[in-house]
């Protein structure tokens, strides 16, 4: 069973290494296709738009991403060894949440459009141009693989306000 690690797990700040299809294995899985289905199932079960390997305790470069509301990645996929090839100069400030920081939402500034490269389960290299929610989500998950969490992308003041909002909402629901 796949479990999502929450802050302050050390996995969230560990820089991931590339996944080598010839030599790397996923613990407890003999079949990569089964693992992909389970990871995507976990992401969907948690109501996420993305889920990085770090968040499930694996420090390799891959993540699940996708949602029916997206323009291109309408069906979730696992992106192995993802990277950003190019990004727009234009940036957008948009709200983000994270499955490892339950109930915390902050506005993060990121490039609006990106061109990305990644591998599928067969090791084939694919590219996509992403915009909007897909671009933001890809960048957020890629940050995880680089050991960066979204709390470091905002000021201490904004972060503390977001924590207070979460705590206030949690107090109301009790």
Contact 3, 56 (CB under 8 A): yes
What are the tokens at 93? 């400030």
Residue 112 gets which letter from DSSP?
Answer: S
User: Is 141 a catalytic site residue?
Assistant: yes
**Identified catalytic residue from 36, 96, 134, 141:** 141
Cβ contacts of residue 3 below 8 Å, gap of 6+?
A: 56, 57
What are the tokens at 43? 């992401």
Active site (catalytic) residues: 141
């Amino acid at each position: 069973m796949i479990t999502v690690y929450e802050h302050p797990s050390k996995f969230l700040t560990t820089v991931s290494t590339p996944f080598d299809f010839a030599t790397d294995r996923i613990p407890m899985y003999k079949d990569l296709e089964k693992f992909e289905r389970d990871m995507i199932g976990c992401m969907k079960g948690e109501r996420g738009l993305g889920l990085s390997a770090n968040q499930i305790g694996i420090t390799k470069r891959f993540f699940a991403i996708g949602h029916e509301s997206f323009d291109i990645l309408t069906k979730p996929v696992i992106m192995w060894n993802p990277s950003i090839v190019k990004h727009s100069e234009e940036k957008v400030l948009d709200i983000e949440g994270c499955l490892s920081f339950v109930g915390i939402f902050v506005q993060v500034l990121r490039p609006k459009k990106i061109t990305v490269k990644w591998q599928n389960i067969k090791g084939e290299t694919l590219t996509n141009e992403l915009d909007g929610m897909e671009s933001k989500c890809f960048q957020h998950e890629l940050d995880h693989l680089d050991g960066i969490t979204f709390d470091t992308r905002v000021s201490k003041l904004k972060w503390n306000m977001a924590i207070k909002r979460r705590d206030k909402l949690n107090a109301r629901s009790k």
